[in-house]
Structure 1
Amino acid sequence: MALLHQTVEEITGRIRARSLSSRRAYLARIDHAVRTGPVRGSLACTNLAHAFAAAPTGDKQVLRALRQPNLAIVSSYNDMLSAHQPLAEYPTLIKQAANELGATAQFAGGVPAMCDGVTQGQPGMELSLFSRDTIALATAVALSHNSFDAAVYLGVCDKIVPGLLIGALSFGHLPAVFIPAGPMTSGMSNDEKAKTRQLFAEGKIGRDVLLEAESRSYHSAGTCTFYGTANSNQMLMEVMGLHVPGSAFVNPGTPLRDALTRAAALQALKNTALGEHFTPVGRMIDERSMVNAIVALLATGGSTNHTMHLVAIAHAAGIQINWDDFNGLSAVVPLLARVYPNGKADVNQFHAAGGSAYLIRELLGAGLLHADAQTVTGTLADYASEPWLHEGKLAWRAAAEQSGDTGILRPANEPFEASGGLRLLQGNLGRAVIKVSAVKPEHRVVEAPALVFNDQDEVAAAFKRGELERDFIAVIRFQGPRANGMPELHKLTPPLAVLQGRGFKVALVTDGRMSGASGKVPAAIHVTPEAVCDGPLARVRDGDLIRLDGETGELNVLIDPDEWAARTPDSIDISHAHWGMGRELFDGFRVRSVGAEQGALSILCDLFDIHYTPSSASKTQVEA
């Protein structure tokens, strides 16, 4: 195994030192919660009787005997959303696997799962980010019966996996294994889909043609096939060792998928205090795990949402990471994958080219991953192998020696780019992130006048009126967590891409999100502090010259410093974003939310002293 890269080692050490106090306190709490016997043994007889009253007779006898482990199932199943529909059958498989070991499994609880693809551009999108913390809370409620020795977590998509993991880490004394559903089979190519969307934005095709194209793209059970947040989640669960190896991208409804689900249940039982090697998830996930996750995200050009989600997950384990850590690692981590929107391939093609096993093997060989990081199966080396069925039985074999398609997946010594897919931008407009892996080098630097908007619909309307046929940088503000829940702004992608295609220099600067589908237009997103908290974007005016430099990491408005300092920030009425479609129920999340770089958390803030305090004027805005 290669020696650990010096930069990776240094940044890990920096995180460890920064987290010393909070991590120590976290570990003390989970150690206090550990029991060496079945956890349900601590329940009084009345409590225990309630806990197994509805169990089948055989399970009831096992649960009464207090000798075997009991496995919790926490699931994001619903049958509306393609990524979650396959999870319907998993509890039966998990229970059968547990019974074969003489143990039991119970469906502990469900968590909500919403799809950003359904809510894009709709009021419901303003609940999307907060659904992550809601899922963490729902996970805690599911496990609060204190009857379980380990848990398996069934989830896939954007906020679901981060929320489940935050919840799991709050029960860090329990072992945890994550079980995905896998991607749907390939439909219309992502490249063709993007072209169709642009034609619709230009008015060259009708809604019937667009709907047919979208239906051919999203056509069956399973996760969407582009490399957005959902599939970035699955890549990160692999490299953090929370899956059984090679689980991420196996299609649903296949014998291999079912075999992996059963194997995950058995592994969770083996990892209990009553099993072969006790592996509480709060000890397993440490500073090395978090650095490994960042490295994998950078090496694959993964979702920008994880510049918030990984920070929030780390906080839940008492670990403090920030965007400087992402940026420092990005300087030395090569881009090894091109999957849409970073390329034309989908995740099925990525998987066929070698997938996560090949990628992890390459990163380990380059010394860019902590090989000694703990996983549910033991070591990260296990994840440089792929699962298969040998004579009907689940087995693993070493990752392919060579990529099946070097246009999709490359070895570490022949990368697509020498640095990672995400970068930090900073300057007098604040701090932001940019997904450079999807942006061609000739478009990564834009210097142009600002056009200021307060929501994405204003941009779409200006485009239709023909007012954007010029060089400009669109500044979309009052889109942060405290303003309106930080929605994704995907309505912007087609018109801005059209304008870029016409030869104009265009870019986006916003305190909102673009997510894993961030495309070919340069976008400085998650600008912190956000405009509603007196952030710099509230001072930008139409015509201000802005420089966005994705190469040097510069994000500046180019005006006289004295004039800039003297400006009064704009204030707008955002009360319309605080009611309707359930948004009024989430006012506590908005008011408590910290900044994007702090993970946009609305929970855990007091416990880990994570605070972001706006001025009194901004508080008045939020409460208006």
Structure 2
Amino acid sequence: MTTSPSTALHPVIDKVTQRIAERSKSLRNTYLSQLEQMRGRGPRRASLSCANQAHANAAMDSGTKIWLNQAQKPNIGIVTAYNDMLSAHQPYEHYPVQIRQTALRFGATAQVAGAVPAMCDGVTQGRPGMELSLFSRDVIAQATAVALSHDAFDATLCLGICDKIVPGLLIGALAFGHLPTIFIPAGPMGSGLSNKEKAAVRERYAQGKATKEELLAAESAAYHSAGTCTFYGTANSNQMLLEAMGLHLPGAAFVHPSDPLRSVLTDAAVERVLQLTEQSSNYKPIGQLVNEKTIVNAVIALLATGGSTNHTIHWIAVARAAGIIIDWQDFDELSSVVPLLTRVYPNGTADVNAFEDAGGPVFVIRELLSAGLMHADVMTVYGNDGLNSHTSRPVLTEDGKVKWEALPAESTDATVVRNVTDPFAPTGGLRLLHGNLGRAIVKASAVPEDAWIIKAPAKVFESQDALVKAYKAGELNMDFVAVVIFQGPQANGMPELHQFTPVLGSLMSAGYKVALVTDGRMSGASGKVPAALHVSPEVAQGGPLGKVRDGDVVELNVHTGELRAWVDADVWAQRAVRELSKEPIFGYGRDLFAAQRRVVTAPEHGASTLFID
């Protein structure tokens, strides 16, 4: 199936987009007005004083200084999230050298404007440090702004991939919306131990049937080299969304770090961003590129691929950074008409390498466009045919250059990626739940349909450790709904709750009907366990989930969108919400984030410490 620029846009997508535009009109106009005030000053360094320029150029080699001191050629600001503990970011170590050399070949310069923190959720899962994870997004945004604040750059290249890092970089870049910006990925690691096998070992370990040595061997076989982890969690969802927003070169997301094409694509990104500056005839600032249609395209890409639930938080904050207001109702209505086109773990057994081999992000984008399920008429960093320019795959030519080729009409593996005429499901991967427990998100695509309705007694826990302890004591061999509270952003920073995933999974494998309801988050990697996540308002803010007591019958119904405690209305009205402990949170740097916990907005408002008005 090929793209058709004339395909009519689906009416629900049109309606939701228009509603977002109307809701955002005042804020968006203010943002664009501010962007306009920042542009039109020619090469940025030309406005710096001689002392400013001398400081900015002092450490550069003599050849680069000649170009920098002329202050007439564009200068690229590199914002990097490199560190060598994140496997996904380790390949970035040598990117700045390559980018500088490539920029010089095109008569320009490039400098590392700054670095941003980049923590690994895989390392901090179940540890106190995970309570900094969500807040790190806003720190990254601020660090990006600090890096670009020198006002010495005409374009930005962002080097980042993983969970909070891409949203943080994007929020920071949007604060400098007058600059053209391209994100450069580094690609996934090769396939190792399959996600299904890894999950099986985790469950056996939770049951006491596998040793720690066996578990470590399995984990090390799964996470084994440089590159992004290969399951379709937040990091790889980031890459899908950036492709759908036109912020990558087309098809750049999942080319391996060691593939020669990877280096050529990096060179091509440098060349391309220089073609988008104010000095060019094709100026494309990121603040204009990211608009209501672009944001809707990102949400649609998330839904069509069953991506991470974290983006029901992060992309609300990203949109707000561009003066655009979206909410969970928008996600839910779009999900009702966007088909599920992929089965990638935890929504299936395949990994992102299999996804890329079967067609990858450009295949999904092409299929959605062909059915009028995405906005084609948007500005992107590549080409002049809107999003239709992002439906071809990059290949390496014999002379070491890159060209883009059309994909086959059909997926090469219909168990992983399907055409829009034959989807895995007629609706998207996420659902909005609501009822007397509040509003929540569930990743329906990761859960077998026979587990979409759970109605069982509640077991209430105030921590991951308490649930695991009850499991080990044999207290959870029953049908139940695990209600885990005080896990929202104001309570403890909203860490991801993966510690008990194997526990709940093993109980389901034993034949028990189990579900999770929490004001925390899990990235959607809950696998087969039905999970109502991000329950809002959170319990620390007086949310009704804090009224649930052990034994209350709780229903989670994906079909009807209901999240309810079946308690007599009068009893429910009189019942008090549990109170958060007043004991100070300290250690692992958590005490430094007390101010963020006090002011952070609700998840449906982006869990933001930056946009709190």
Name the TM tier (shorter chain). over 0.9
Corresponding residue of 2:48: 43
Q: Please list, as runs of the form range in 1=range in 2, the aligned pairs for 1:158-237 lying within 5 A after superposition.
A: 158-237=163-242
AA paired with 1:387? P
**How far 1:574 sits from its partner (Å)?**
5.3
Give, in whole Å, the separation in 2 of the partners of 1:247 and 1:503: 43
Q: Does 1:274 align with 2:279?
A: yes
Corresponding residue of 1:79: 84
Corresponding residue of 1:583: 590
Give, in whole Å, the separation in 2 of the partners of 1:516 and 1:142: 32
Corresponding residue of 1:499: 507
Corresponding residue of 1:390: 397
Contact 1:227 1:516 in 2 (8 A): no
Give, in whole Å, the separation in 1 of the partners of 2:374 and 2:338: 10
AA paired with 2:260? P
Corresponding residue of 1:600: 607
Give, in whole Å, the separation in 2 of the partners of 1:161 and 1:344: 25
What does the per-residue CA deviation read over 1:187-234, in whole Å, with 9 as the maximum and x for residues that have no partner? 001110010100000000100000000000000000000000000000
Corresponding residue of 1:455: 463
Contact 1:496 1:506 in 2 (8 A): yes
Corresponding residue of 2:312: 307
Corresponding residue of 2:474: 466
Q: Please list, as runs of the form range in 1=range in 2, the aligned pairs for 1:419-498 lying within 5 A after superposition.
A: 419-498=427-506
- The TM-score, its normalising length taken from structure 2, stands at 0.98
Q: Secondary structure at the match of 1:404?
A: coil
AA paired with 1:67? Q
- The TM-score, its normalising length taken from structure 1, stands at 0.96
Please point out which of 68, 81, 98 is paired with 1:93: 98
Contact 2:193 2:221 in 1 (8 A): yes
Q: Which runs of 5+ in 1 are unaligned?
A: 610-624
Please point out which of 403, 407, 410 is paired with 1:402: 410
Q: Does 1:30 align with 2:38?
A: no
Give, in whole Å, the separation in 2 of the partners of 1:171 and 1:565: 48
**How far 1:575 sits from its partner (Å)?**
3.0
**How far 1:400 sits from its partner (Å)?**
2.2
Structure 1, 550-559 or 313-322: larger mean CA deviation: 550-559
What does the per-residue CA deviation read over 1:218-277, in whole Å, with 9 as the maximum and x for residues that have no partner? 000000000000000000010000001111000002210001111111111111001241
Corresponding residue of 1:3: 8
Corresponding residue of 1:19: 24
What does the per-residue CA deviation read over 1:2-57, in whole Å, with 9 as the maximum and x for residues that have no partner? 11111000000000000000000011111101134101111111111111111111
Give, in whole Å, the separation in 2 of the partners of 1:570 and 1:410: 47
Please point out which of 415, 423, 428 is paired with 1:415: 423
Corresponding residue of 1:567: 575
AA paired with 2:609? S
Contact 1:484 1:574 in 2 (8 A): no
Contact 1:221 1:252 in 2 (8 A): yes
Q: Secondary structure at the match of 1:527?
A: strand
Q: Secondary structure at the match of 2:111?
A: strand
Q: Secondary structure at the match of 1:517?
A: coil
User: How many equivalent pairs are there?
Assistant: 605
Corresponding residue of 1:372: 377
Contact 2:300 2:374 in 1 (8 A): yes
Structure 1, 262-271 or 434-443: larger mean CA deviation: 262-271
Q: Which runs of 5+ in 2 are unaligned?
A: none
AA paired with 1:108? A
Supply the RMSD in Å over aligned alpha carbons: 0.8
Structure 1, 50-59 or 147-156: larger mean CA deviation: 50-59
Kindly, what percent of the aligned residue pairs are identical? 57
AA paired with 1:217? A
Contact 2:459 2:550 in 1 (8 A): yes
AA paired with 2:601? V
Contact 1:361 1:399 in 2 (8 A): no
Please point out which of 538, 554, 560 is paired with 2:562: 554
What does the per-residue CA deviation read over 1:73-92, in whole Å, with 9 as the maximum and x for residues that have no partner? 00000011211100011111
Q: Does 1:317 align with 2:319?
A: no
Structure 1, 471-480 or 267-276: larger mean CA deviation: 267-276
AA paired with 1:415? P
Give, in whole Å, the separation in 2 of the partners of 1:126 and 1:403: 40
Please point out which of 535, 539, 548 is paired with 2:543: 535
Corresponding residue of 2:152: 147
Contact 1:483 1:590 in 2 (8 A): yes
Give, in whole Å, the separation in 2 of the partners of 1:346 and 1:541: 39
AA paired with 1:572? L
Q: Does 1:243 align with 2:251?
A: no
Compared with structure 1, are the counterparts of its residues 574 and 82 closer, same or farther at alpha carbon in structure 2 (3 Å cutoff)? Answer: farther
